[in-house]
Each structure stands twice: as C-alpha cells, then as structure tokens.
Structure 1
Amino acid sequence: MKFTFPILSLNKGGAQRMLVDITNYLVDRGHDVTIIMLKNSINEYNVRARIIHGKSAERLSASDYPKSDIIVSNFFTTVESAHQASLNGKGLHIRFSLCYEPIFLPDQNLSFHSYYKAPYLVILSKYQQKLISLLTGLTGQIIPIYVNPNFKNLKVRHHNPTLQISAIVRMPEGGWTWHRDQDYLLQQLNLVKNRYPNLQFNLICPPNEFAKSQILQNIKNAKSFRFFTPANDQELCQLYSQSDIFVTSSIYEAAPLPGLEAMRCGAALATVYAGGNTEYCNHESNCLMSYRHQNRLASDIMRLIDNPALRIKLASQGELDSQQWTLQRTASAFEQICKAAICDISI
C-alpha cells in the first residue's frame, strides 16, 4: 500500500515519535510511505520513509499531497488538507488521533469539527475512545501504545549512592502543558525533598524545549533539582534505569508514555490519574496512583521511599506488565485497520 502522512514537524519530545515508529515499521514491511511536512520544518528523528515538503511554511494544502492509497492525518491542523486531498482522489482519509485536542488546547471550534472530516478514526486507549464517543458520537478503533525497544532495564540503580526520584518536565511557555499539572508536580517534589534532603531529585526535559524555556532554565539555576536533557533514547533509558522512583502528574492524557517507559526500565511509578494511563497502571499492583483531588502524590512518593519492599514489588510487577506493550503489536494493529479500510471501500 501507499501511505501519505502529513506531519507538520518532527521535534523530539512529542507524540510525533509514535508516527515515526509506525511509518518506519510500514516501510520495513514493504509499504510505500511518504511523510509530507511544512516547508523548512525540522526533523529530529531517524526516518526511513520518504520525506517531501509542502510549498508553504504555514500550512499544507491538498495540492502538496502525492497520490496514495491512504492519507493518515493526526493533529487537527493536518486534517483539513488531508480531507481536501482525499476529496480530490488522492487517497482514503484515516484520522490517527494521538490526543483529543478540544479538551486541553485552544481553537476548540476548529479541533472539535475536525473529527467529522475523516471516515475512519484510530485512537490510543479505551479512555480516549469513550471520551470521543461521548462528545462526538464517533467510535474510534483502538491501537495500543507501546514501549520502543530502545528502552530496557539496564540494572544500574544498585550503583546509586542514594535513592533517585525522577520526573519529566516540559516547556510551560505557550500554554500547552497545563494538563501535565507541572506546578503541582514541582510542589509535591519539593515537599518530598524537604523531608528527604539527601536524596537525588532529577528533572528530565527534551533539549530543544529547555533551550527555549526561561522558566525551565530558572528552575535549573535554582539548583534544587538535578537537570538532564537527554539527546536520544539511550541517554533517556539510562536516566530511567538509574531512577528508583519515577513520578508523573498529568491529569489528562489519551495514553501517556513516560510512566510506561519508566516501568520497562525498572522504576517504581507514582502517578496521578490521567485517563489514558489506566491502560497500564494498576494501583497497588504495579504502581501507586492517586486522583488529583486527593492531593496524595507526595505521600505516595514518600511511601515508596520508606517501604523498600513495596517499591521493589511494584517496580518488578510494572516491568513485567510492560512487556506486553510492544511496537510490533501496535504497528501491526494499525496496518490491519488500514487494510480493512481499503477492503471496505473496494466492496
């Protein structure tokens, strides 16, 4: 099959990683895959698909698209051009919704209506499926998230001179991170740090976002936390594998990956209910999970610090449970959905 994926840019740290992994899988399976990007856009990934650029640096148009069997839009800003290209006979339009934008981003009048412009919808979790069905009446087909094979338990945390507690932070400027409740995360980590000042607290951030964010640079300059900007999966895997406890504070995400990646690398997870993380989180079995209104994240972290047996038990179960979340399963499910859609329209 011939696929076209409109992806406006490929910056590390975002959901685009999943698109790259799936397009690479499709290429390896022998499919003809083209990624179309904005003029002068950035690519920070190792992409095996063909990359072409549109005529504009602002938006894609239907005329930018090559002829293909399937056009796979994703973020709502890629939908209109994909829709028009499909109407012009350039391929069947499938929407691959990596998040439900109207919940947490501006321009809801545009992002909400974008869900009516593709005959097929692919989503990441039961939570996202129920949410979109409730609000739009559409029922998307689920492909599960996955842990990239680059992530594994390096078994190095026993070398730590003291416990390490880690979390990922993102650039707050621009208003795109409120759903991660980052201020709450830092407040809770500071509560724990005040009680356990001799432990090591790590903040991890994509390097391109750290370079742009004065807020994150100010946090680093305050020297309350160790700050890391891993350049690739290998460096991030090392940080996960060093961490005894990994912490996430998101209150809304369709299918958050960092907690699952940290599980695969052997860290005990303390997290807040975000909707999509119920796909892999099981409170008291493979993590500690609280609802945001319970205001319990700091106490859960401290519980893991004070109870090594519980910490080891949850980390071991989390690493075991994470094994089912494979790229092969995810990409294969996506491929099968596309094949079925092609067969559906040809009948």
Structure 2
Amino acid sequence: MPASLLELKKKIASVKQTGKITEAMRMVSASKLNQTEDRDKGYTIYNNHVRKTISRLISSQVVDSLREQDVAIDKRNIDYTDVFGLGITADMIQPRKNIKSTGFLVVSGDRGLVGSYNSNVIKNMMGIFEDERAQGHDVKVLAVGSVGAQFFKKNNVNVVYEKNGVSDVPTFDEVLPIVSTAIKMFLNGVFDQLYVCYTHHVNSLSSAFRVEKMLPIVDLDIGVKEAEAHRELEYDIEPDPNRVLMKLLPQYARSTIYGAILDAKTAEHASSMTAMQSATDNAKDLVSNLTTKLNRARQAQITTEITEIISGANALE
C-alpha cells in the first residue's frame, strides 16, 4: 500500500481517538454542570431567605431609631453607627467615606479546554483595574483559580491572596477559608470595599461577566415597608437584634461569595461542555474529509493499476 494511503489511515484513526476523548470530556462536563446547577438552586433559596430576614431586622432598627430622631428615612444617608454603634454590624453595612484601596475577588479556572472562559475574565479585569487606578484607588486581588492568579502576578497586579484547586462541584465548607479570609481582610482595613468578579451562568450556551459589590453589604432592602413586614411576622429575637445581626451579616456575606464561586464553576462547566462538543464535531468533520480523501486515493490507485494492466496487455499484442 502506498505511503499516502497509510498516512491517511493513521490520521483517521488518530482523529477518531481524539473525538472519543473530547466526547468523554463533554459528558463529564455535562454531569458536573447538572450537579452545580442543582446545588445553585438550593443555595439561591437559602440566600434569599437570609437576605429578607436581615433586611427586615435592619429596617426595623433603622426605622425606630430615625423616628425617635424625627428624621426622614433615606437609605443613601443612613449612618448605621448611630443605629447599631461601633462593631461588626455597622462595619459590614456602612460604606466607607474615603476609599483608598479596592479588593477584587476574581474567580477563574485552573485549567484550559474551557473555550473563552478564562480569557474573558482576564480581559474584563484588566480594564476594571485601569479604571480603578484612574480613580486613585489601590488594586488588591484575591485570586481563585490558577489561570487568573498567574496572569495577574506576571502583569504586576497585587495579588494578596491566592487559592487554587477548588473542586469542580465546590461545597460551602471547602470555600469557607476563602470567604472568611476576604471578610477578615475587609474588617481589618486591607481594602475599603470588595467586589466579586466572575462569570455568571445564563444557560448551557451563554454566560455573562459580572462584577458585584459584596462588602460593605449594600444590596439590602431598607425601608418602612420591610420594617412593617418584620412586625407583621412577629419575630421573637433573642438575645437582641444587634447580636443576631452580628452573626447573620457575616454568614450572609459568606454565602453570597460562595454563591458567586458556585455560579462561576457552573459557567466554567458549561463553557467546557460547549468547547468539547465543538471539538467533537470538528473531529467528525475531519474524519469525514479524510475518509473522502482516502477513498479518492484508493480509486486513483485502482485506476492506475487497471491502466497499467491494459497498457501491458496492449504491448504484448
């Protein structure tokens, strides 16, 4: 058999084997995607309940305090230290006046073969860092994922914390050291505000980059409506609302950051699944093209052999 036919056969066998591998990787990513999606649903329900509870507790305390002072309720101008005094409760929800340093908890992957997942995160973050520096703020990064961490360090970005090897279906206990470190750094003044930057999972075919402010906690619904809802439910709070909030606020921050990491992992699996599906389809197309070339080469060989036989017969006449 001519060398060209042997080469084509080897290429076809190699591409078929690669296609089997990428298909297996697609199935693994699909399985992990289903697991993280199921876990994300349960987390969302829990986080929403905690958020509503905290909003009602804080609203009740704020409304009562401001009514005693005969001050109009305006969420933008509330000084929580007047309501709760100095301590964790006020620290967790009171925006700081002079922002000198901003922390970014950036979630990327630990490996490739996930399409544009990692490159999109890095590209968006470098633009955000430039904007932050233009405002005179120091940038400090908490990197979750080796791809982002290595890139940022090579580009002289201040990485104050790094965590690699987060499992594909992370549990709350696994990421607790990450979120606890982020909260401690904020409370200790390492940075004055914290943003979590990650890829939000929309569906298996699309995702969206998100930047969410996590600390101080500013996404709570504070107002008269929430305070009245609190009273209608007739909470029995022991020992007192402030002590309960001292426990609930850090827990809410932890669960919110965990939710972002879980969401990012879901998007990573979806991106990996899509990339492996594309690779499998490309392998099938390549096998088809190579098979066509092989058939044509075989046909050309047969035609050449028949021509040689006929020429030889004619020469004997």
TM-score with structure 1 setting the length: 0.29
User: Which has the higher relative contact order, 1 or 2, with Cα contacts under 8 A spaced 6 or more apart?
Assistant: 2
TM-score with structure 2 setting the length: 0.31
Q: Which has the higher helix share?
A: 2
* Larger-gyration structure (1/2): 2
